[in-house]
Amino acid sequence: MKIHEYQAKELFRNYAIPVPGSQIAFTADEAVKAAEDLKGPKYVVKAQIHAGGRGKGGGVKVVDSLDGVREAAGQILGMQLVTHQTGPEGKKVKSVLIEEASNIASEKYLSIILDRATADMVIMVSPDGGMDIEEVAEKTPERLLKVHVHPTVGIQPFQIRKVVKFLGIPKEGMKEAGKLIANLYKLNMELDCSMVEINPLVVTAENRVFALDGKINFDSNALYRHKDILAFRDTDEEDPLELEASKYDLNYIKLDGNVGCLVNGAGLAMGTMDIIKFYGAEPANFLDVGGGADAESIENAFRILLSDKNVEAVLINIFGGILRCDLLAEGVVAAAKKLDMKIPLVIRMKGTNVEKGKEILAGSDLEFAVAETMKEAAEKVANLVKQPVA
């Protein structure tokens, strides 16, 4: 789960990570009121959306008066902000963070990410902050340092010294920077984050060290033990189909292709997506309906899948174990009838009660093609959709 910058900064404050004074505002009037409570005369007005690159997209404005705050807030609130992370349609801005401007001497990069390959935390830093870290990694990899921290051992003082040195923090700011890194690591572990990022981490002309931006992603599987963080969820920022799927505990992730997939089991779902691509088509989604799916969840899954306008054909690939093939067939027939399905359907079923399932499908007035193997299923469905332009 992602949260907004202003929420991340609230958590930073709880962990004694220095941030400039700031307040959230939902209208231009509120923005001016917020600024009046802060130290002026320079302020930064920052669009709050779940995407980075706001600065380049015109979503971050530095102003030098209360009138400037009103004007900038008026421009940013309600705008459809397009950044390299939002896609071409952009995201509507509903709130702005009003922040005391900092006297920036240099911008650094700091993040902590869960590294699944090494099963530990990796602290990533660069003295070149404020820019795309992917670009730094590609063009000047020597300007990026990764330090692995074992979760049981925890972050060690020598690692903090190494990181602070690499960042090129001036002597006067080293102690504050070291504390900040230790506190960020603590936050990351205690709140079950999958990533925390401060870009830029700034050193001011007075050698203070601040988090000027804040991004936190949480491991959704751990949110049950962080009810207060769950309250930060902003469903307006989520994909509407994924949001709908989450209501029924369906593991659905929307993708950009045209073949809708209904599969049980995450591994089989991944394999199905691979083989669809192998035959030249593109999956429209990842969907694992789970082993214990009943007719109702099959119906919901089918409805969500078909609401994706890009879907031109559907592939159902089921290995009947706990989920029996006859039950699946009943769910599919009921859903297709109710939803008045118009697009072609390819079904591959194996396992428990497969014969009974096939009888149910054959006895219905549903039009579909049956495939025996995954290869056959993928080939058939790929032939039914427009091929992507190579």
Question: What positions carry a catalytic annotation?
Answer: 109, 197
Between CA 124 and CA 260 the distance in angstroms is: 37
Q: 100 or 115: whose CB is closer to ligand GDP? A: 100
DSSP for 51-93 reads: -S-HHHHT-EEEESSHHHHHHHHHHHTT-EE--TTT-TT-EE-
Q: Is 60 in the site for ligand GDP (CB under 6 A)?
A: yes
Q: Which of Mn ion, ligand GDP, none is residue 107 near (CB under 5 to 8 Å by kind)?
A: ligand GDP
Q: How far is the CB of 303 from Mn ion (least distance, A)?
A: 38
Between CA 278 and CA 276 the distance in angstroms is: 5
Between CA 248 and CA 79 the distance in angstroms is: 32
Q: Is 197 in the site for ligand GDP (CB under 6 A)?
A: no
Give the strand order in the sheet containing 251-254.
Answer: 251-254, 285-288, 259-263, 313-320, 345-351, 369-370
Contacting residue, 32, 101, 105, 253, with ligand GDP by CB under 6 A: 101
Instruction: Tell me which residues in 175-214 interact with Mn ion (CB under 5 A).
Output: 199, 213
Instruction: Tell me which residues in 210-249 interact with Mn ion (CB under 5 A).
Output: 213
Q: How far is the CB of 196 from ligand GDP (least distance, A)?
A: 14
Residues in the chain: 390
Q: 83 or 258: whose CB is closer to Mn ion? A: 83
Q: Name 24's Cβ contacts closer than 8 Å, sequence gap at least 6.
A: 6, 34, 48, 95, 96, 97, 98
Q: 199 or 353: whose CB is closer to ligand GDP? A: 199
Give me the sign of the Cα torsion angle 58, 60, 64, 69.
Answer: positive
Q: How far is the CB of 127 from Mn ion (least distance, A)?
A: 16
Looking up tokens 């049981």 gives 152
Q: Is 2 in the site for ligand GDP (CB under 6 A)?
A: no
Instruction: Tell me which residues in 103-142 interact with ligand GDP (CB under 6 A).
Output: 104, 107, 130
Q: Is 102 in the site for Mn ion (CB under 5 A)?
A: no
Directed axis angle between helix 240-247 and helix 295-307, to 10°? Answer: 180
Q: How far is the CB of 144 from ligand GDP (least distance, A)?
A: 17
Residue showing the smallest CB distance to ligand GDP in the complex = 55
Q: Which of Mn ion, ligand GDP, none is residue 331 near (CB under 5 to 8 Å by kind)?
A: none
Q: 101 or 223: whose CB is closer to ligand GDP? A: 101
Measured in Å, how far apart are the chain's first and last C-alpha atoms?
34
Site of interaction with ligand GDP (CB under 6 A): 44, 46, 52-55, 60, 62, 99, 101-102, 104, 107, 130, 199-200, 212-213
Site of interaction with Mn ion (CB under 5 A): 199, 213
